[in-house]
A and B are shown apart, each in its own frame.
With several copies, the nearest count.
Chain A
């Protein structure tokens, strides 16, 4: 980032002096004001749909204390994890598609048509294939994860510097060694990017995934709270999803820095 001379504009100078989370805190205060002062004035019942942060906080504390939030969170995380293990199949598939042109030519049209179909739309067919229960929920999450990992792996392979492949061949490496020792390794940073995107999308597919057959999970909690008009629980669920999604992403970024110390995108 090439920041400009900070001294130039008084507004910027003022912004510079703000503590880091000022905007976030401001937003929360505004929300509190709207939900507990302004909304009730225009219609005393609107706050049902937009509970003030204080009430959300109380509800959150309650849900945490009763263990409910933890229970749902754990259930969702477990589903994510299982789905992720299956979604990792996108890595070898992506390697094959990225490396062997004819395989790419055959499979790419299929991938391209399947990719934009929303996970939600797969629910009926997935019930047919997996029945109801965890496998079906996991499948929906899996769909969200699979394509980003696949696309990034293919892309990562396509972007492997040809000179590295030539170097390996020139040092006597055969086809298989080239794929395993060079292509896979060189594509790894982008595969990891794919994993990050995939985990994000998979996490966002939670609500859709837990629409059917689940009786636990954050998505279920939200869907269920809707049916009893508990917007406070919905907001707690949303914030939990948002926050945990953020934490997962940060952990992954951290892990990448540790595990792929040589990666360019980490160097900067």
Chain B
């Protein structure tokens, strides 16, 4: 149902015929099975966000097709929902209202909405914070609200664009553990964009490495490690080295 397949997708910004056209992605194909956790690694500007945006339905591929569970993606919606780096919580809604927003859009009756909200507030451990506004929460707590809000609509595919980049190191670590815990309790097809090799190894089943622009799939590394993963384990260290090489391979520029 939540199987995500990306077939020969290319994305060109601007008029393909013109000089200024930017080829963001070229001929990307990926197949992510239902309930798999996939991380996308790549340099800045290689097209990670572009790829995610097409899966989320915000943009359309110039060539090729994205489909979820066999159905082509044509517009944004709850089936392929996205969690943003900036959390994108509605500042004028409290935690409960934020989480219920998607359910309201799905026209769920009041009672079901409240039940679902309670479930997901519990899941992310925000009991007691339901009536707080986003700006009254810490970065990590906001991220949890965003996750709960996205999960509450029961998406088939969950997309995340550098969800933890804005958090400090300790909080980030804690949130990564949290995400794994939640995902194991409620498995979804997940596509997570990150800049951090450690994050990718810690979280994903499958790490897709994109090349510099125009982005192509450089390699797909399967992470066979047991969860929770030990950073000091030899396999972990080996995987890290391998990914680092893949990434820095063509990293010549300094900034």
Residues of A within 8 A of B (CB): 161, 163-164, 166-174, 177, 181-182, 185-186, 188, 260-264, 267
Contact = CB atoms under 8 A, between A and B. Distances in A.
Interface of B: 56-58, 75-78, 80-82, 84, 86, 88-92, 101-102, 105-106, 133-135, 149-150, 153
Contact of A163 (B77, B88, B92, B153): B88
B91 A170 contact: no
Given A164-B90, A170-B81, A171-B149, A262 B135 contact: yes
A188 B90 CA distance: 13
Contact of A172 (B58, B102, B133): B102
A113 B89 CA distance: 38
A171 B133 CA distance: 19
Contacts, number: 74
A177 B103 CA distance: 13
A244 B3 CA distance: 61
B91 A264 contact: yes
A167 B150 CA distance: 9
A163 B105 contact: no
Where chain B touches its partner, the secondary structure class is loop
A171 B102 contact: yes
A166 B78 contact: no
Given A170-B76, A171-B149, A186-B91, 4 more contacts: A167-B89, A171-B78, A172-B105, A172-B153
Contact of A171 (B57, B58, B91, B153): B153
A267 B135 contact: yes
A168 B133 contact: no
A172 B106 contact: yes
A173 B133 contact: no
A188 to B, nearest CB: 7
B88 to A, nearest CB: 4
A173 B102 CA distance: 7
Contact of A262 (B76, B84, B88, B134): B134
Contacts of B150: 171
Contacts of A172: 77-78, 81, 102, 105-106, 153
Nearest to A163: B88
Contacts of A170: 56-58, 76-78, 80-82
A260 B92 contact: yes
B82 A167 contact: yes
B101 A163 contact: no
Contacts of B88: 161, 163-164, 166-167
